[in-house]
C-alpha cells in the first residue's frame, strides 16, 4: 500500500487537466443525491470560466478565491476537492474519489491540503455540506474536528407533471419591492433551530431579505433570476410571510430557500401553491424546490399535502480554525 500511496501525485488542477477532472466528476455524480439534479454541461462551463483571467481578477476584487486540488495516478485524476475562500470562511466542496481508489487516504489528504490553504488565508471557519445519508463522509469530517450545526431538507415539485389546483382566495401571493426586516427578525427562531445561531449572524441572514442590497452584479454572476414574494392575508396590506424565488441554471429549476413563514401559518403554503405554479407555468424549468430546516414539521406536512416530495437531506458542518 505504501508503494501505491507514493505513486499518487497531489497538486492544483490546471486547465489542461479539465477533461480528466470532468471524467471523475461524471462518475462520482452518479452516486450523489445532490448532484444527480445538476446539469453537468452547465457546471463544466462554469468550472472552465474559473480559468478565465478576467473572471479570476473579478472574483479576486470581490474577495473570493478558488482552489481545485487533485490526486492523480499515471496522469489520470482519481480524486479531487474544491476550496472556496470568501470573507472569513473557507468552503470545502466537491470531495470526490474514484471508486477504484477509495480507502487509500486520498480524500483525507486532499481535505487536509484544502484546510491548510484556508489557514494560510487566515480564515476563521471551515464549512461544508454533506449528504445526511453519507455516514462515511460524515464520520471523516467529524474525525477532522467538524461538528454538525444545521440539518436541512430539499422538497421537490415536478413542474412537468403540473396538476392544476384550485386557488384559495384567503391568501394572496404577490411580488414585492420592500420587506419589513424588523418583522422578519422577530420570527427567525421559527425558521432556524437554536444551533444555527451559534455560527450564523442574524444581521447577515437579514441581508438576504433586504431588497436594496440584493440587486445588481452578484445576481448576474450567479446567473439567477430572482423574485421577492410576499404572502398576504386578504384583509392585510402587509405580508405575513416572505419568500425569495430564484432560478438556478445548474438544475434548470426554481428554488425557495428558508421561507419566512411561521410554523403556525404553514398551512398558507397550500393556499398559495396554485398561485406560485401559475407564476411559473410559462417557464422552461423542470423543478420547483423548497429548502429549509428539517425541524419544521408543520411546513413539511403542508408541502407534502400540496404535492411536494422529499428529495434528500443535507447536513451543514463547521470547524473553527
Distances (CA, A) of 35 to 251, 261, 286: 9, 28, 15
Are 205 and 108 in the same domain?
A: no
For the domain that residue 216 is a member of, what is the CATH number? Answer: 3.40.630.30
Confidence of residue 279 (pLDDT cuts 50, 70, 90): confident
> Would you state the pLDDT for residue 198?
92
Which residues lie across from 317 on neighbouring strands? 128, 148
> Would you state the pLDDT for residue 166?
56
> Would you state the pLDDT for residue 302?
95
Is the separation of the CB atoms in 76 and 64 below 8 Å?
A: no
Residue 321 DSSP SS3: coil
pLDDT tens by residue, 30-88 = 777 666 667 778 888 888 888 888 877 777 777 789 999 999 999 999 999 999 998 88
Q: 102, 123, 144: which is the final residue of a domain?
A: 123
Are 292 and 192 in the same domain?
A: yes
Is the separation of the CB atoms in 80 and 67 below 8 Å?
A: no
Are 158 and 296 in the same domain?
A: yes
Report residue 99 as a C-alpha cell. 471508486
> Would you state the pLDDT for residue 1?
47
Distances (CA, A) of 99 to 28, 40, 44, 62, 87: 8, 19, 21, 37, 34
Are 306 and 220 in the same domain?
A: yes
Is residue 216 pLDDT above 60, yes or no?
A: no
Are 49 and 195 in the same domain?
A: no
Residue 223 covered by a domain: yes
Query: Measured between alpha carbons, how far is 69 from 127 in angstroms, rounded to an integer?
Result: 17
pLDDT tens by residue, 102-152 = 999 999 999 999 999 999 999 999 999 999 999 989 998 999 999 999 999
> Would you state the pLDDT for residue 193?
96
Are 168 and 232 in the same domain?
A: yes
Q: 123, 143, 164: which is the final residue of a domain?
A: 123
- Domain span including residue 87: 2-123
> Would you state the pLDDT for residue 210?
82
Residue 146 covered by a domain: no
Is the separation of the CB atoms in 6 and 218 below 8 Å?
A: no
Residue 193 vs residue 225, higher pLDDT: 193
Are 18 and 111 in the same domain?
A: yes
> Would you state the pLDDT for residue 33?
60
Are 107 and 191 in the same domain?
A: no
Q: 123, 142, 170: which is the final residue of a domain?
A: 123
Residue 132 covered by a domain: no
Q: Which residue has the cell 426586516?
A: 181
Percentage of the chain modeled with pLDDT above 90: 60
Which range has the worst mean pLDDT, 80-94, 165-179, 300-314? Answer: 165-179
Residue 129 covered by a domain: no
CA proximity to 68, closest of 104, 102, 88, 43: 43
Residue 242 covered by a domain: yes
Is the separation of the CB atoms in 112 and 103 below 8 Å?
A: no
> Would you state the pLDDT for residue 217?
45
Residue 243 covered by a domain: yes
Query: Measured between alpha carbons, how far is 91 from 118 in angstroms, rounded to an integer?
Result: 9
Residue 199 covered by a domain: yes
Are 81 and 203 in the same domain?
A: no
> Would you state the pLDDT for residue 223?
44
Residue 169 covered by a domain: yes
Which range has the worst mean pLDDT, 21-35, 214-228, 235-249, 294-308? Answer: 214-228
> Would you state the pLDDT for residue 222?
47
Are 166 and 110 in the same domain?
A: no
Report residue 195 as a C-alpha cell. 444551533
Total structural domains within the chain: 2
pLDDT tens by residue, 222-267 = 445 789 999 998 667 889 999 999 988 778 889 999 999 999 999 9
Are 158 and 297 in the same domain?
A: yes
Is the separation of the CB atoms in 151 and 310 below 8 Å?
A: no
Query: Measured between alpha carbons, how far is 262 from 280 in angstroms, rounded to an integer?
Result: 24
Query: Within a 13 Å sphere around the CA of 17, how many CA atoms are in the beta-carbon half?
Result: 23
Are 117 and 168 in the same domain?
A: no
> Would you state the pLDDT for residue 69?
98
> Would you state the pLDDT for residue 237?
83
Residue 230 vs residue 167, higher pLDDT: 230
How many Cβ atoms are within 10 Å of 9's Cβ, its own excluded?
Answer: 13
Query: Measured between alpha carbons, how far is 114 from 84 in angstroms, rounded to an integer?
Result: 9
Amino acid at each position: 500500500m505504501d508503494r501505491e500511496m507514493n505513486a499518487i501525485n497531489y497538486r492544483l488542477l490546471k486547465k489542461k487537466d479539465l477533461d480528466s477532472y470532468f471524467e471523475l466528476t461524471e462518475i462520482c455524480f452518479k452516486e450523489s443525491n445532490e448532484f444527480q439534479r445538476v446539469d453537468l454541461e452547465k457546471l463544466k462551463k462554469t468550472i472552465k470560466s474559473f480559468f478565465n483571467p478576467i473572471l479570476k481578477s473579478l472574483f479576486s476584487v470581490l474577495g473570493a478565491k478558488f482552489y481545485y486540488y487533485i490526486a492523480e495516478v499515471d496522469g489520470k485524476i482519481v480524486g479531487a476537492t474544491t476550496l472556496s475562500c470568501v470573507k472569513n470562511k473557507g468552503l470545502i466542496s466537491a470531495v470526490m474519489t474514484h471508486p477504484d481508489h477509495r480507502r487509500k487516504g486520498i480524500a483525507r489528504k486532499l481535505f487536509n491540503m484544502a484546510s491548510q490553504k484556508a489557514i494560510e488565508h487566515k480564515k476563521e471557519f471551515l464549512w461544508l455540506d454533506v449528504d445526511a445519508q453519507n455516514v462515511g463522509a460524515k464520520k471523516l469530517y467529524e474525525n477532522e474536528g467538524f461538528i454538525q450545526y444545521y440539518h436541512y431538507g430539499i422538497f421537490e415539485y415536478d413542474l412537468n407533471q403540473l396538476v392544476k389546483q384550485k386557488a384559495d382566495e384567503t391568501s394572496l401571493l404577490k411580488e414585492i419591492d420592500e420587506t419589513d426586516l424588523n418583522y422578519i427578525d422577530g420570527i427567525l427562531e421559527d425558521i432556524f433551530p437554536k444551533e444555527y445561531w451559534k455560527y450564523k449572524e442574524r444581521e447577515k441572514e437579514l441581508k438576504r431579505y433586504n431588497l436594496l442590497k440584493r440587486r445588481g452584479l452578484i445576481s448576474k454572476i450567479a446567473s439567477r433570476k430572482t423574485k421577492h414574494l410576499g404572502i398576504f392575508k386578504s384583509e392585510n396590506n402587509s405580508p405575513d410571510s416572505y419568500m425569495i424565488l430564484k432560478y438556478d441554471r445548474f438544475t434548470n429549476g426554481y428554488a425557495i430557500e428558508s421561507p419566512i413563514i411561521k410554523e403556525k401559518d404553514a398551512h398558507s403554503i397550500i393556499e398559495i401553491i396554485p398561485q406560485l405554479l401559475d407564476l411559473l407555468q410559462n417557464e422552461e424549468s423542470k423543478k420547483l424546490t423548497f429548502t429549509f430546516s428539517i425541524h419544521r414539521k408543520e411546513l413539511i406536512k403542508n408541502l407534502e399535502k400540496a404535492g411536494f416530495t422529499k428529495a434528500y437531506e443535507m447536513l451543514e458542518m463547521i470547524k473553527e480554525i
